[in-house]
Structure 1
Amino acid sequence: MNDPTRDRELDIPDEPWMSHGFISKIASQVSLPYRRPKTKEITRRNGTLTVTFSAGGVDCLPYGKYPRLFEAWACTMVKTNNPCFDPNTNTLELGRSFRDFLELLEVKVGGTSFRNIKPQFERLFRCTYSIVNLTESKSSGVNFVVAEEFNIDWLNPQLPPQRGKTAYNWVRLSRGYVEMLRDRPVPIDLSIMAKLGKPMAIDIYAWITRRFYSLSEVTHIKWEQLYQQFGSGTKELRKFKQTFKEALEEVIAVYPCRVVCGRTYVSVWPNITSIPTSEETQQINRERAKTLQVAHSSEQRQRARAKATESARAGKWFSLFGQPDQIWWCSEAWDINAAQDHLYGIAERGDCPVCAYDKRNRERHGSWPFPFR
């Protein structure tokens, strides 16, 4: 599949990490297992990209929701230079900030959840990644283990005052893993991720929101390609399609977008991104400023019209034929014929609109000699 975002940084405005986060580019391209795998090694493919995950001396590969949540959290901490990550040693403290992250994603934090998280972290930290990109003209790849050293002491009954504190829970990530997290991560909306229950739904959300950052026209992806990318724990494409559709429905329910599952292809239409990029934000601000400018100009015109109307309705002295201050009247009601009838006395005082407008005009009623009398 063509990947327009492969070499482009998805830059977004600075915001607190509690409002948005990041997930690695690799995690948006290929997937870890969803259920406990029967093998200790799996391979995922996406176009020219091939990623092999291998269990490092443990019972199985990491699977399910928690390894995905950890990677999103770790990627966010690394990307935002959070104090819990030490870039000099690549050490990430699994303390208060990780608890905050889980609570933000509506994951219950306690002994039961930590008992479920702990073995998944052990599997993930010992997992090895082999990432290879093969094209006709170039071959590149990297191999690394996720963590070089780690210490998880959440469940140590001998340390109740320190349970969950950073001093006893940390992981020293490998250089290769940190570089993977830093390599053009995908901005994600944590409020959307919090509403996704299925691990595949998390993967689909990361995948489509990354595609939306560069998608300008509808694209069609074969089911076989998606199966190689996501996998599902089943060897039957028919079952994979059904699982994918169910997870996609969960995503669309909280992140409205147009993704249609056909018989042969999955079609994806351009859509707004979860988190606007800096370029999109600048465009939004420009459009907002333009709207405000138009509104301001409209308001100015309205004020000018109101002022003109007020001025037109306000009385002032009018001069006729070079004679100053002859009639007190307003521009809106000004009538040269009525003014002459007033000054020449042609109009009766009781019917004269000039006299009726202001009593100061009454003493000048008929003050001009009629030229033909």
Structure 2
Amino acid sequence: MTGKGRPRRDEMELVRAAAELWEQDEPELSYLARLWCQTSLPYRDPGDVSAWGRRNGALSLVVQPGMTIGPDGHPRSIGFPYGTLPRLLLTWLSTEAVRTREPVLMLGDSLSAFMRNLGLVPTGGRNGTITRLKKQMERLFLASLTVRWDGTTDRQAGGRLNVASSYDLWWSEKSPDEPTLMPSTVQLSGEFFREVTEHPVPLDLNALRALRGSALRLDIYAFLCHRMSYLRRPTTIPWEALRGQFGSTLGEDKNGRARFKQEFERNLREVLVVYREAQVTSSRAGLELRPSPTHVPLKGLLAATKELRE
């Protein structure tokens, strides 16, 4: 709310988008690889560090940025993928992999066509959406991702789960609407392709469009869609566990933990405007989850799955 008690502009936009979502007959189905419902990428640029990570219980994710050779002849980092754009890309890539059952994906005849698929409006300039998308795509495709599970002393498991093994982008920033001479493609890594096609988490594409103004909102929505798909009894997730999974740059002291809780609760309220069926409450102990209907109804999921197979 604003200081005068009126809703902010983004709050009003969210409510309008949610109202349209409530009235839809069937969800517009999309998917996300299970890993990205359990862990997440950075919300902000981690800066000049060699690695960055998240932990969700026994599951940990470490991200290392891709490297290149600078004009001075020395290796340099191209940076970490962060914010909303890599999350929208991961959803599109996951959905296309499930839809086509192919690891090589075509990204559209033109830059603007692909951006519309992501719900983005092409804008130029140093800070425009075109520049930011191309930069985040390269960072995501070249990043090294290490996943490790260390739940018991009797077993250790882990491996690489890089998103892409190669990519070839033929897009013009000056003429984003013009078809290119060659198609833009990305080849998913074998590990990522198997993960998303064997363990896809269904999401509502229109819900993602409504929530895309915040990376944390997108992560909370994906997390709830995954948890509610198998939750059978009430459970409480402690705030410290949520800090480990979703991360925070607000400090480890009492004030930082309180601010994380406040920020998480604010974004959760906005997610629940869209995912109204989720029975979730916040308490001093943590996040209380109760078994709830999945956001993509089983009927809609079965119909969409049948259509994909045909």
Question: Normalising TM by the smaller chain, what interval?
Answer: 0.7 to 0.9
Preserved contact between residue 162 and residue 192 of structure 2 (Cα < 8 Å): yes
- Match in the other structure for 1:146: 163
Inter-partner Cα distance in structure 1 for 2:262 and 2:83: 18
- Match in the other structure for 1:272: 293
1:234 has 2:250 as partner: yes
1:20 has 2:11 as partner: no
TM-score, normalisation: structure 1: 0.63
Question: Equivalent residues in 2 for 1:1-373 (5 A)?
Answer: 19-38=28-47, 39-57=49-67, 58-81=77-100, 87=102, 90-96=103-109, 102-103=115-116, 106-111=119-124, 112-136=128-152, 137-155=154-172, 157=174, 160=175, 163=178, 165=180, 167-196=182-211, 197-235=213-251, 236-256=256-276, 257-277=278-298
Please give the secondary structure, in 1, of the residue aligned with 2:38. coil
Inter-partner Cα distance in structure 2 for 1:241 and 1:161: 41
Q: CA deviation at 1:135?
A: 2.7
Q: CA deviation at 1:162?
A: 8.1
Q: Among the aligned pairs, what percent are the same residue?
A: 30
Using a 3 Å threshold, how does the CA distance of structure 1 residues 270 and 95 change in structure 2: closer, same or farther?
Answer: same
Inter-partner Cα distance in structure 1 for 2:300 and 2:173: 48
Where do 5+ consecutive residues of structure 2 fail to align? Answer: 1-25, 68-76, 304-310
Inter-partner Cα distance in structure 2 for 1:156 and 1:187: 33
Preserved contact between residue 105 and residue 193 of structure 1 (Cα < 8 Å): no
Inter-partner Cα distance in structure 2 for 1:224 and 1:138: 25
Preserved contact between residue 86 and residue 136 of structure 2 (Cα < 8 Å): yes
- More displaced 10-residue stretch of structure 1: 50-59 or 142-151: 142-151
Inter-partner Cα distance in structure 2 for 1:246 and 1:98: 34
Please give the secondary structure, in 2, of the residue aligned with 1:234. coil
Deviations for 1:149-182, whole angstroms, at most 9, x for unmatched residues? 222232355xx49845482422222222222322
Please give the secondary structure, in 2, of the residue aligned with 1:149. strand
Which protein has the larger Cα radius of gyration, Structure 1 or Structure 2?
1
Deviations for 1:308-356, whole angstroms, at most 9, x for unmatched residues? xxxxxxxxxxxxxxxxxxxxxxxxxxxxxxxxxxxxxxxxxxxxxxxxx
Letter paired with 1:268: L
Letter paired with 1:237: R
Inter-partner Cα distance in structure 1 for 2:181 and 2:233: 47
Inter-partner Cα distance in structure 1 for 2:301 and 2:90: 26
Deviations for 1:186-210, whole angstroms, at most 9, x for unmatched residues? 0000111110021010000000111
Q: CA deviation at 1:97?
A: 9.6
Letter paired with 2:37: S
Inter-partner Cα distance in structure 1 for 2:136 and 2:229: 31
Inter-partner Cα distance in structure 2 for 1:229 and 1:100: 34
Using a 3 Å threshold, how does the CA distance of structure 1 residues 280 and 154 change in structure 2: closer, same or farther?
Answer: closer
Inter-partner Cα distance in structure 2 for 1:69 and 1:60: 18
Preserved contact between residue 27 and residue 206 of structure 2 (Cα < 8 Å): no
Please tell me the root mean square deviation across aligned C-alpha atoms, in Å. Answer: 2.8
Q: CA deviation at 1:280?
A: 8.6
Inter-partner Cα distance in structure 2 for 1:164 and 1:41: 38
Letter paired with 1:33: P
Structure scoring higher RCO (CA < 8 A, sep ≥ 6) equals 2
Letter paired with 2:265: K
Please give the secondary structure, in 2, of the residue aligned with 1:167. coil
- More displaced 10-residue stretch of structure 1: 92-101 or 38-47: 92-101
Count of residues in correspondence between the two structures: 258
Inter-partner Cα distance in structure 2 for 1:100 and 1:246: 33
